[in-house]
A and B are shown apart, each in its own frame.
Chain A
Amino acid sequence: MMRTIGLVSTNYSVEGYEDLCQNRPVAAVPFGGRYRFMDFALSNLVNAGIRTVGVVTPYYYRSILDHMGAGKAWSLDKKSGGLFVLPGTIHGFRDENGRFLLNDLLRNRQYLERGEADYVLCTDCSFLYNADYRPLMERHEVSGADVTLLYKPLEAGEKHRGSYLRTDENGRVTAIGAGESGEKLFLNCLIINKSFLLRFLDNYRHMSHRDLVERLSAQLAEVDVRAVAFEGFVGYTDGIADYLAASRSLLRREVRQELFGGERQIYTRIHDEPPTAFSAAAVVKNSVISSGGHIGGCVEDSVLFRGVVIEEGAEVKNCILMEKTVIRSGAVLENVICDKQVSVSGGVVLRGTAEHPCLLRKEKVI
């Protein structure tokens, strides 16, 4: 197999995430009890055997660097290759609607030029899935295409935010970003020949504020762009209602199995939390519970992150409670997302709906 390096874009747009992205990019949003969105992108690359990964930092990247460290959790602390932090060029804009900005690639050209890789596998962090990228890499190599895009085939009537693809009978992509809906949702993941990418960057030197995918879409007649389907589970997180729904999909065994139970592990930063203590009064149903917690109350249809405390007499239903949330005795929460270290006093009753969940921002005390 030819050599492939990875490139992770940690997302520019935070539209729809409200306070979840007040102080962090989408890539750093916590998910599933102990993960962050970017864990899926990094783990998918690593699980495909890729050991050189560049991460383009967004506008505010403290939480990204804090989470990644030297890349040890993903086995990316390497003598040769490993994790490369690629400083992004966007300053001051956090709602830029791009995925792989040409300027970010140009300014980090050294990362691409160094080494002997033949391909670059680029992905952002906005879709949550556990994919085997090797079929994508193999299909790309065999086809001889310049670029191969990964897409999710959608059911009729299913609709998500993103770019839809159109392909011809030979599998060539004829349109990217065609319309508001379609059968093929681009997963913001592609593999591209490195030499082609470098030439492409040179050509666009003077339009470097543009996005790679957007520029490709304008040149589909000249550039050989193909598409490969990913049939597995995808968690969509276009905003906080979707975030709640994607989190709740973890309550289904087959989803947990596919994301976390198979050969390909999703890696994340290790915290060394002790086991979670359930007291005699604990009533827990259909919930994902992470380590380090203390549970004495009622928990139903919820996802609890590390170190969450639910006191006896508290009730939690349909909630996502992030790290170190404390729910005091007598509080009742339904359809609520608590960001990290939120503290809810006894007597507080807070109900959102599945379509419009309440969001309590980080460290909020009510």
Chain B
Amino acid sequence: MRRKETVAMLLAGGQGSRLGVLTEKIAKPAVSFGGKYRMIDFSLSNCVNSGIDTVGVLIQYKPFILNKYLGTGSAWGLDEESGGVHILPPYATEKGGNWYQGTADAIYHNIDFIDGYDPEYVLILSGDHLYQMDYNLMLDYHKLMNAELTVAVKTVPMSEASRFGIMSTDEELRITRFTEKPKEPDSDLASMGIYIFTWKTLREALLRDHEQQDSEHDFGKNIIPTLLGQGRRLFAYVFNGYWKDVGTIPSYYATQMELLEENPAFRIFERRMRIFSNLNEHAPGYVGEGGSVKDSLCCNGCEVYGSVRHSVLSPGVYIGPNAVVEDSVLLPNSSVGEGAVVKRTILNEGAAIAALERVGSEDEICVVGTGSTMRVKE
């Protein structure tokens, strides 16, 4: 196998339990976002746009849609003869099998996979973050600083710092302290959960961590504090662009509403750092004689006979005659029947609102799945 300088490992096994109905059937990285994308598109596209062509995708929770969606990786240009996308589920050995116990444990179990490419560096990513980033710049920085671990960080308001993993650094941006969700934060540099490790350092750390009975085998809780304690060279890399870890229904909803602004902060529609996706096989959309679409994003495969305002319409969405859709996010293949009224609602994939039904209210966000409905206060 050809040697690779950098291998990316993409953590995509999480459930995202706080997204409720949306992750009933699929893992969080497979949740639809921004019309035609799924969350994993952003990290995968970043890899491609950064020239990283070898990506291990660690899966565990309800992986079917994710696996099908990833396919050979060709939708992202990742169908490489040497490298490409590798789906890495938990597996059995002669000693039995185990689920991935934590983020670090998931990488530990794939040491042989990484060794196969004999890389200099390993890039650890999450499959459910929304951002556009050139990992090459971070890698250059990692080399420049002669670092063993570089953690991408973002400045957050001090008032919110206690929600994040916070890095304290010296003037050189060398990390001096790392605290998960500190009660009294002494820095506003929050970890984005994006790490570049020198593989030799990470490999040793994973082997040691695996032997620790009391470890949760987690990067933030175990690996980073241990390396810090050993006096290793850990650096923070400050990222100034848009980045979001959408964890809850209100933030999932708000983030998509932001895409409808005139100049959205998350510039997913620019060609420069193009986001690729695997939802491209629909015919163009259609707006009917009595239909109206305003202040909205509309994908291919939509048929609109009713009136749509300030909403996101994913591929294959149907809006019946005289239906009204406002301030809503309609995921792929969902439908709104004739004369129905849908406001401040997220329709999950394939969900159908019957004719004349009324859904949604002013003070909460309604999430309608194929089987169940939930309401979330903002």
Contact = CB atoms under 8 A, between A and B. Distances in A.
B36 A274 contact: yes
A282 B309 CA distance: 11
B289 A277 contact: no
Interface string B245-285: 00000000000000000000000110000111100110111
A60 interface: no
B283 A33 contact: yes
Contacts of B296: 277-278
B297 A276 contact: yes
Interface in A219-255: 251, 253
A278 B299 contact: no
A272 B271 CA distance: 10
Interface string B68-90: 00000011000000000000000
A284 B299 contact: no
A267 interface: yes
Contacts of A259: 283
A34 B293 CA distance: 21
A286 interface: yes
Nearest to B302: A289
A291 B285 CA distance: 8
B286 A256 contact: yes
Given A34-B283, A288-B286, A283 B292 contact: yes
B284 A267 contact: no
B153 interface: no
Interface in A38-62: none
B295 A280 contact: yes
A163 B256 CA distance: 54
A362 interface: no
Contacts of A251: 286
Given A261-B283, A289-B287, A274 B294 contact: no
A32 interface: yes
A277 B297 contact: yes
A284 B293 contact: yes
Contacts of A265: 281
B29 interface: no
Nearest to A260: B283
A276 B285 contact: yes
A146 B286 CA distance: 44
Interface in A93-111: none
A33 B299 CA distance: 13
Contacts of B300: 34, 290-291
B360 interface: no
Interface in A279-334: 279-291, 303-305
A275 interface: yes
Nearest to A266: B283
A2 interface: no
Given A267-B281, A289-B286, A280 B268 contact: no
Contacts of A256: 283, 286
A261 B280 CA distance: 14
Contacts of A287: 286-287
B264 to A, nearest CB: 10
A285 B298 contact: no
A267 B281 CA distance: 7
B46 to A, nearest CB: 15
B291 interface: yes
B35 A274 contact: yes
B288 interface: yes
B34 interface: yes
A285 B276 CA distance: 30
A27 to B, nearest CB: 20
A286 B284 contact: no
A72 interface: yes
Given A279-B295, A283-B292, A288 B285 contact: yes
Given A72-B74, A274-B269, A275-B36, A284 B284 contact: no
27 contacts: A32-B284, A72-B74, A251-B286, A256-B286, A260-B283, A261-B283, A270-B75, A270-B281, A272-B274, A274-B269, A274-B275, A275-B313, A276-B285, A276-B297, A277-B297, A279-B294, A282-B294, A282-B295, A284-B287, A285-B287, A286-B289, A287-B287, A288-B286, A290-B285, A290-B300, A291-B284, A291-B299
Interface of A: 32-34, 72, 251, 253, 256, 259-261, 265-267, 270-272, 274-291, 303-305
Interface of B: 34-36, 74-75, 268-269, 274-277, 280-281, 283-289, 291-300, 303, 312-313
Given A282-B293, A282-B295, A285-B288, 12 more contacts: A256-B286, A270-B75, A272-B274, A272-B280, A274-B34, A275-B36, A276-B297, A278-B294, A279-B294, A284-B292, A284-B293, A289-B285
